Amino acid sequence: MTLTLGSLEVPVPVVLAPMAGITNAAYRRLCAEQGAGLYVCEMITSRGLVEGDETTKRMLVFDEAETVRSVQLYGTDPTYVGQATKILCDEYGVAHVDLNFGCPVPKVTRKGGGGALPWKRNLLGRILEEAVAAAAPYDVPVTMKTRKGLDDDHLTFLDAGRIAQETGVAAIALHGRTVAQAYSGQADWDAIAELVASVDLPVLGNGDIWEAADAVRMVDETGVAGVVVGRGCLGRPWLFRDLASAFGPEGPGATTLPTLGEVTVMMRRHAELLSEHMGEERGCKEFRKHVTWYLKGFRAGGELRRSLGLVDSLAALDRLLAELDGDEPFPVSELGAPRGRQGAPRHRIVLPEGWLDDTDGLGEGSAGVLEDVDETTGG
């Protein structure tokens, strides 16, 4: 099973979701070494790219082995999004541009961005039109990611699918949660199936894919053309190995259950790649956030975990990893369990004043607030 996004053929219908501070060039390389798919860069702001912000440009780093460059853009202004799309295609050789209309973070929705923006149907259409037009001369597909809606009383996903189809978007990814849910509760796969039934373009499903078997089940139950995997791969890059196998000609196989020794090899590789891209000191500091995810469920002692969370060199990392029991089996209790942030549903969504008053977004005073030049956040 493959995934077709316009002119782009993805050999395995699996997309790594952009995650702030996670899906940098090193992590994308690490995941790609495990299995074929599409690996998306951390989300960047359109305005930051257009205005040449240094923080934004530092995020646009690609590994030498990254033959298919994929970037997710966030923006609330059609002109900026169009210009940023052109820059990505023309100056960075990007082969795929994804637009974020799903981020639930308050600092984004406060400005009418991310998961808040699809409420403004006409503004959404204009942004998509500008991005598709800018990418067309380069034959680069534009896709979009969204959520069900603001909350259960303000659903937008079916309109978003219709608008995506009308504007020439190559595919739409749906996270089966609302903005109000954020990452809490369960993803609504029925909504994903409903979107599949309502549009002719490929739909990608996102939400609660913790194992390869979940991805296969989502395809079977909803009819999606592929899946988007986010939190499920935290501390488990080998999930992409299982996914590649599951969507291969022989179908789902056994789940990868690495020993702690095999996990430490992956941890070392991750830190090494980060060091190559960022320098050893910064790379090791960046690695620290991943330690808890890698060791989730293993018996590694608290003191050793704390020391790994303070590692500042590859040599120090090697000494600490050597103290782990390499023969300890993978904790099967962790299979299928949620990973990463979950939190609680939000009782109030932060939106621009009067945001719900109309569904246009193009009239004076009805659009969102332009994002900060150096704004970065989770996708």
The C-alpha angle with vertex 61 and arms to 52 and 368, in degrees rounded to 5, equals: 45
How would DSSP label each residue in 144-191?
A: EEEESBSSTTSB-HHHHHHHHHHTT-SEEEEESS-TTTTT-S---HHH
Asked whether residue 145 is marked as a ligand-binding residue, the answer is: yes
* Measured distance CA(377)–CA(185) in Å, rounded: 22
Separation CA 349–CA 150 (nearest Å): 8
Residue 31 annotated to the active site: no
175 a known binding residue?
yes
To the question of whether residue 72 is assigned a binding role by annotation, the answer is yes
Indicate the pairing of strand 96-101 with strand 14-16: unpaired
Question: Whole-angstrom Cα distance, residue 69 to residue 71?
Answer: 7
Name the active-site residue from 31, 41, 89, 103.
Answer: 103
230 labelled ligand-binding: yes
What is the SS3 assignment for 336? coil
Token couple for 280:
């050893």
- Tell whether 266 is in a known binding site: no
Alpha-carbon span 242 to 2, nearest angstrom? 15
Q: DSSP for 50-88?
A: HTT-HHHHHH----TT--S-EEEEE-S-HHHHHHHHHHH
Q: Which residues are catalytic?
A: 103
Binding residue numbers for FMN: 18-20, 72, 145, 175, 230-231
Which residues are known binding-site members? 18-20, 72, 145, 175, 230-231
